[in-house]
């Protein structure tokens, strides 16, 4: 073996360095656990089949959630969603290719945390902390974590559940650490993945126990005008402005009770996150260059929530710099930590995990 190592070193190869398992562009190749964002894990039910993860779920299929409860369980990571004519809507496929080009090997130094993204972040944080310890024990070393978009708060929740995780560094890209108004927009009007495809309704989102977990944290949940007595964490504000499920069910006592409990749960979530320990090294990659809504504008008794890329005409005091979905400040808001903040220009929030600039920033942060 010593002879083989000497031959590699003699040729100047970067493909092998003794004692470190190093490859091109990565200085220290620790095992990496990737925590993807929403919708990046298949959801499968033994009776209903796929609830999320295949082509037909873009246009139909069972709801992701109902008031009767959640069906299905997490299955595999989705690298992309299949579209017509063999195309795919990329989720983590391009990122994985970039990581592998940087030296990582799937199943060896590259691992994923597959989870039920409908569940509460606090609960997922406990599960992630357990997985981190399992993986570190299996590898015999500390690991690194990469949290993407809504995966960022789950990493933070893991540090609340276990303050001494065997992790050398944490990197987040587009992490929703302090929440985002974009979540309120999706809760208000629903969300459509594909042109002419199915709309995930406000009722489906609200039925998920973790559906509200990335709304803005209480300290930054602001309205315009700011003197009208609105409170995002008060169900009466949602009813008064006919937001989300209250568009169709303004006086429904069942939905009123559900939303009240969801809001209380999110308030508790942010209390828990504020108590999370700080990673030894934290790098937060933030998107910049796009107007990003940070205050909910109320006009004629209704909340104006146009959504990412449709903010033209919105008051400038309601927007700030960010990636179109998450403001720069929210993307590195980890109480008690001193993150290294890396800013990259983007054209949409999804660029945070799909562009060469993002891949380069992530690989540099993992060195």
In three-state secondary structure terms, 251 is coil
CA-CA distance, 253 to 260, in Å (whole number)? Answer: 10
CA dihedral angle for residue 251, residue 256, residue 258, residue 262, rounded to 10 degrees = 140
Residue tagged 């990122």 (tokens): 95
Taking alpha carbons only, the member of 205, 269, 261 closest to residue 235 is 261
Backbone torsions φ then ψ of 251, nearest 5 degrees: -120, 20
CATH numbers and ranges of domains, the chain: 24-40+73-365 (3.40.50.1820)
Q: In what order do the strands lie in the sheet with 49-52?
A: 49-52, 41-45, 73-77
> Tokens at residue 222, please?
């602001």
Task: Give the pLDDT confidence score for residue 6 in this predicted structure.
Answer: 33
Per residue of the chain (367 residues), give pLDDT as tens: 333 333 323 333 333 333 344 444 444 589 999 999 999 999 999 999 999 999 999 998 999 999 999 999 999 999 998 887 778 889 999 999 999 999 999 999 999 999 999 999 999 999 999 999 999 999 999 999 999 999 999 999 999 999 999 999 999 999 999 999 999 999 999 998 877 788 999 999 999 999 999 999 999 999 999 878 999 999 999 999 999 999 999 999 999 999 999 999 999 999 999 999 999 999 999 999 999 999 999 999 999 999 999 999 999 999 999 999 999 999 999 999 999 999 999 999 999 999 999 999 999 999 8
CA-CA distance, 228 to 101, in Å (whole number)? Answer: 53
Query: Could you give the residue ranges of the DSSP H alpha helices within the chain?
Result: 2-10, 93-101, 121-139, 151-161, 181-189, 202-207, 235-240, 253-274, 328-331, 356-365
Peptide bond into 225 cis (omega under 30): yes
CA-CA distance, 92 to 52, in Å (whole number)? Answer: 16
Q: What angle do CA 354, 359, 363 make, to 5 degrees?
A: 155
CA-CA distance, 213 to 267, in Å (whole number)? Answer: 9
Cβ proximity of 143 and 297 under 8 Å: no
Task: Give the pLDDT confidence score for residue 23 in this predicted structure.
Answer: 46
- The length of the chain is 367
The DSSP annotation for 10-56 comes to HTT-SS--TTTT--TT-SS---EEEE--TT-EEEEETTTEEEESSGG
CA-CA distance, 34 to 99, in Å (whole number)? Answer: 11
348: left (phi over 0), alpha (psi -120 to 50) or beta: beta
CA-CA distance, 94 to 69, in Å (whole number)? Answer: 34
Q: What angle do CA 226, 348, 230 make, to 5 degrees?
A: 15
> Tokens at residue 82, please?
């299949």
Taking alpha carbons only, the member of 331, 334, 356, 353 closest to residue 343 is 331
Task: Give the pLDDT confidence score for residue 28 in this predicted structure.
Answer: 56
């Amino acid at each position: 073996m010593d002879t083989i190592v000497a031959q590699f070193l003699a040729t100047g190869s970067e493909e092998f360095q003794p004692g470190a398992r190093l490859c091109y562009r990565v200085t220290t190749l620790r095992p990496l656990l990737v925590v993807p964002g929403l919708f990046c894990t298949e959801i499968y039910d033994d009776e209903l089949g796929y609830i999320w993860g295949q082509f037909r779920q873009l246009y139909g299929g069972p709801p992701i959630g109902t008031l009767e409860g959640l069906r299905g369980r997490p299955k595999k990571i989705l690298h992309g969603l299949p579209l017509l004519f063999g195309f795919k809507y990329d989720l983590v496929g391009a990122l994985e290719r970039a990581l592998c080009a940087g030296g990582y090997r799937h199943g060896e130094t590259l691992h994923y945390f597959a989870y039920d993204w409908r569940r509460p972040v606090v609960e997922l944080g406990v599960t992630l902390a357990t997985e981190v310890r399992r993986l570190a024990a299996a590898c015999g070393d500390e690991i690194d974590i990469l949290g993407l978009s809504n995966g960022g708060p789950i990493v933070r929740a893991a540090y609340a559940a276990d303050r001494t995780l065997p992790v050398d560094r944490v990197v987040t890209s587009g992490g929703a650490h302090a929440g985002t108004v974009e979540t309120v927009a999706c809760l208000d009007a629903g969300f459509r993945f594909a042109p002419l495809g199915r709309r995930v309704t406000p009722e489906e989102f609200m039925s998920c126990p973790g559906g509200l977990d990335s709304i803005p944290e209480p300290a930054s949940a602001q309205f315009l005008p700011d003197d009208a007595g609105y409170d995002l964490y008060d169900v009466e504000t949602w009813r008064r402005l006919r937001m989300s499920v209250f568009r169709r069910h303004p006086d429904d006592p069942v939905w009123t009770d559900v939303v009240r409990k969801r809001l209380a749960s999110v308030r508790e979530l942010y209390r828990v996150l504020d108590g999370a320990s700080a990673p030894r090294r934290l790098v937060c990659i933030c998107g910049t260059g796009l107007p990003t809504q940070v205050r909910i504008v109320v006009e004629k008794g209704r909340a104006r929530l146009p959504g990412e890329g449709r903010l033209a005409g919105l008051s400038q005091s309601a927007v700030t710099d960010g990636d179109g979905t998450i403001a720069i400040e929210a993307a590195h808001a980890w109480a008690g930590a001193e993150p290294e903040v890396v800013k990259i220009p983007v054209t949409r929030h999804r660029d945070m995990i799909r562009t060469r600039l993002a891949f380069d920033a992530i690989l540099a942060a993992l060195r």
